[in-house]
Structure 1
Amino acid sequence: MRILIVTAGSRGDVAPFTGLGRRLLEAGHQVTVAAHPPFAALVGGCGLGHRPLPGDPQELIRSRAASPERAREASRAYVEGLADGVARAVGDGTDLVLTAFGPAPFSRTAGEAFGVPVVGGYLAPAFATREFPLPGAPESGGPGPEGNLAAGRAVLGRADGLFAAAVTRLRANLGLPAMPPSASSSGGVRPVFHGFSPLVVPRPADWPAGVEVAGYWWPERPEGWRPPAEVADFLQAGPPPVFIGFGSMAPSQGERLGELVAGAVRRAGVRAIVQAGWAELSGRGPDVLAVGDLPHDWLLPRTAAVVHHAGAGTTAAGLRAGVPALPVPVMADQPFWASRLHRLGVSPRPLPFQELTAERLGDALTACLSEPAHRRRAADLARRLAAEDGNAPVLAHIAAVST
């Protein structure tokens, strides 16, 4: 079967699908990933085909820091381009579409137009529930279970509003009838498999049929990858360092964050590996090494703790590594995952990015490293995660529909 995986956003939105894609490839399917051009090498290095989707998510994040007007214009252009790109990718030929949540409205529309079934592969909870507020909602949700449900529906309603005009235009361009006003542009995909562990977020009892929590889809390591000599040397030169990285967050703030991190590392008396990310974070001092993208499954188990923005992908990688976390959430789903880490007992209380100072980060690092329970719980959870196979439910479904 020809399978097209459609995903959009940052590296964390793409990498989990390389692992799932490889498993599908090994099961005999032909697998292609539609993603933004900067991820062509990542996808190709894992042995998967690539179809480009237009748009620059890094510029989209930068626009949010510029002005509301620029942010609105950048979002509109990004969404319109994504709609056309998804339609082209599906139209180039496939037997089944596996779509991430972000481009799901366009994947569903293109699937309808080309007569191709669409399966959801979502990396964060995407169905309203009484059990907790969805990512993107206020952490407190509302007054009780009904408040959580209302908050979740509000989040999904905002997503519908963001995509509605582009979906309407795309349906017209593809010769489809207009979507009824009551229909949700972000929902409607079935079945949906969520790529996180039920040990981290159990499946809510009030989710609809056909919506499952599968388990994590661990990223594939690119073929032939070897650790850079300078990283291996740094790791061997002293005690395990902490990892510090903010992924796709804080673009163009590397200079300020580099000074802040250096001060925090000195204050905590630790060594650190700092990942540049989109912030272009720099390393300062003899006990700090700055690196580019490295496979988290190799690096993070070699660290003493992981400081990160609590994106879904990095959160998962830290849990897999079995080391304590210090979440520094910035936006979107990050406060949700940061709160989960704290509730699981693998991290101290999250330190919001807006409150970040060298003193606060240094003190939080000290607290994270000095509490044995964080490490004990992280190691225990990692052992339990290692026994799961999040790919299996997806493979079983695709095997059933392909026969």
Structure 2
Amino acid sequence: MPMNVFIATIGTRGDVQPYVALGEALHQAGHAVTICTSTRYAALVAERGLQYGRLSDDLVALIETPEGRAAIAGAGGSAGGMRALIRLIRTSFRIQRALFCDGWTAAQAANPDVVVYHPKMAIALHYAERLGIPAVMATLFPTLLPTSAYPNPGFPSLNLGRRLTATYNRATHHLVRAVVSVVSRWLFASWRAEHGLPPQPWGTGLLHRDDGTHVPIVNGWSAHVAPNPPDWPRQDVTTTGYWVLDRPSDWTPPSELQAFLEAGPPPVYVGFGSMAGGDPAHTTRVVLDALAQAGRRGVLARGWGGLDAQDCPESVYLLDQVPHDWLFERVAAVVHHGGAGTTAAGLRAGCPTVVCPFFGDQLFWARRVCDLGVGPAPVPQKHLTAPRLADAIRQATERGAMRQAAAMLGRALRREDGAAQAVSSIERVGTVQQHG
């Protein structure tokens, strides 16, 4: 039975594009879909034939300010950086309260049968409660479900012996859940009171209903990359495969880029996406030096990260934005910050991957890439030097076993249809509601 589906997400393009892919798959399955996200992505939503629900762009724009970039650069642990991060979080809380109103207006207009939400838009769970409809949490990295298999993304992986390591891993998840519960209860309290909902019970958070039971979860990554741990709930947690947004059929590459690719051996892609770093000019110098030391041509993506070079050598091409699924098929390796979307694109293309993580889930994907043998050990941004990066690039481009493993994983990932699997999970939730 056709449904009205309301999808709420916010953040960088990596936080939005997979949900547009999911929305497109739902639309093709016969459902009406509204994507509620910040205004900078309104055109992306509309061009895929989906309804757009407006959110202010203020929260995303905040990250692009000098203060936001300083906070992100310092998230790795310096005292000054952590203070900047705390100030950023305080400012973001004020902006989020206004976003709650935007999202609620869009949700009412959509008249949905089911709500699907990114954890960053967990307020949508409360919209669903107010509307009396089910909700599904759709996430791009493991979060909030405790496991002894690995630490919560963002925490270091420690080898303390089997039992102590398992205890440590599970404790990191419980710590994050406790913090999330406290913060979310405070953050959502006024909205709930204003809309006739009782106070949020203790122990609930981004993925719990009012009675404390967790909502169904669909994970937008592949079990080939990160399988469900054995101690996760077996029901209502589905890891579907990646949600991939195909490039428009009429898209053509810039002629200058095409000519560069054809003028020599496959280059190495380098891009740090939305991660700014404290000194983009320095980072660019490190990247250029590393490419020269490794003897490789390069394609540098500016992104929000500010990678820029006024005088690039002829062996390096500087680009603004190109579909990863097209470009990554034409490069020797990919170097990036470890965002979920860029990691997925590189792995699906069968590319050896060098991850230079800043923080958060980037650390998790960096470990998975290394553990799977499809990339060298990660090079954290705080330890990024030209010799370290050059060595990692040489490993990624010259080790035959690594290239073979990456190609094999890429073939497995391309056989999956993660969005279709997620649609099936969401339809099951909505069908129960419609027949209930």
Same fold (TM over 0.5): yes
What amino acid sits opposite 1:99 in the alignment?
Y
Match of 1:102 among 102, 120, 124: 120
- 1:377 is displaced (CA, Å) by 0.2
Q: Partners of 1:304 and 1:76 in 2: how far apart?
A: 42
Which deviates further from its counterpart, 229-238 or 51-60? 51-60
Please report the TM-score for the alignment, with normalisation by the length of structure 1.
Answer: 0.94
Task: Indicate the residue corresponding to 2:380 in structure 1.
Answer: 352
Aligned ranges 1:285-296 → 2 under 5 Å: 285-296=313-324
Q: Partners of 1:266 and 1:183 in 2: how far apart?
A: 52
Q: Partners of 1:363 and 1:183 in 2: how far apart?
A: 46
Question: 1:89-114 deviations in whole A, cap 9, x for unaligned?
Answer: 2222222211112212x011111112
* Matching of residue 56 in structure 1 with residue 59 in structure 2: yes
- Going from structure 1 to structure 2, the CA distance change for 1:200 and 1:68 (only over 3 Å counts) comes to closer
Which deviates further from its counterpart, 207-216 or 46-55? 46-55
What amino acid sits opposite 1:90 in the alignment?
A
- 1:63 is displaced (CA, Å) by 5.4
* Matching of residue 273 in structure 1 with residue 295 in structure 2: no
Task: Indicate the residue corresponding to 1:163 in structure 2.
Answer: 184
Which deviates further from its counterpart, 263-272 or 153-162? 153-162
Aligned ranges 1:303-318 → 2 under 5 Å: 303-318=331-346
Q: Partners of 1:243 and 1:150 in 2: how far apart?
A: 37
Aligned sequence identity (%): 38
Give the count of matched residue pairs. 402
Show structure 1 runs of 5+ residues with no match: none
CA RMSD of aligned residues (A): 2.0
Question: 1:330-378 deviations in whole A, cap 9, x for unaligned?
Answer: 0111011000000000001000001112222122212221211111000
- 1:34 is displaced (CA, Å) by 1.0
Task: Indicate the residue corresponding to 2:220 in structure 1.
Answer: 195
- Going from structure 1 to structure 2, the CA distance change for 1:9 and 1:196 (only over 3 Å counts) comes to same
Check conservation: 1:22, 1:220, Cα contact below 8 A: no
Task: Indicate the residue corresponding to 1:148 in structure 2.
Answer: 169
What amino acid sits opposite 1:137 in the alignment?
F
Check conservation: 1:46, 1:223, Cα contact below 8 A: no
* Matching of residue 133 in structure 1 with residue 151 in structure 2: yes
- 1:240 is displaced (CA, Å) by 0.6
Q: Partners of 1:68 and 1:202 in 2: how far apart?
A: 32
Q: Secondary structure of 1:102's partner? A: helix
What amino acid sits opposite 1:15 in the alignment?
Q
Q: Partners of 1:297 and 1:76 in 2: how far apart?
A: 35
- 1:120 is displaced (CA, Å) by 1.5
Q: Partners of 1:268 and 1:108 in 2: how far apart?
A: 49
Check conservation: 1:133, 1:141, Cα contact below 8 A: no
Match of 2:198 among 162, 177, 183: 177
Please report the TM-score for the alignment, with normalisation by the length of structure 2.
Answer: 0.87
- 1:312 is displaced (CA, Å) by 0.7
What amino acid sits opposite 2:353 in the alignment?
A
Task: Indicate the residue corresponding to 1:243 in structure 2.
Answer: 269
Which deviates further from its counterpart, 2-11 or 134-143? 134-143
Show structure 2 runs of 5+ residues with no match: 75-80
Check conservation: 1:310, 1:329, Cα contact below 8 A: yes
Question: 1:134-182 deviations in whole A, cap 9, x for unaligned?
Answer: 2122322872322211111112223333333221111112110111223
Task: Indicate the residue corresponding to 2:357 in structure 1.
Answer: 329
- 1:62 is displaced (CA, Å) by 2.2
Q: Secondary structure of 1:255's partner? A: helix
What amino acid sits opposite 1:115 in the alignment?
G
Q: Partners of 1:187 and 1:132 in 2: how far apart?
A: 22
Q: Partners of 2:349 and 2:425 in 1: how far apart?
A: 29
Which deviates further from its counterpart, 45-54 or 68-77? 68-77
- 1:313 is displaced (CA, Å) by 0.8
Question: 1:33-88 deviations in whole A, cap 9, x for unaligned?
Answer: 11111222222233322222223335234251572553242232243233333322
Check conservation: 2:136, 2:426, Cα contact below 8 A: no
What amino acid sits opposite 1:167 in the alignment?
F
Q: Secondary structure of 1:345's partner? A: coil
* Matching of residue 122 in structure 1 with residue 139 in structure 2: yes
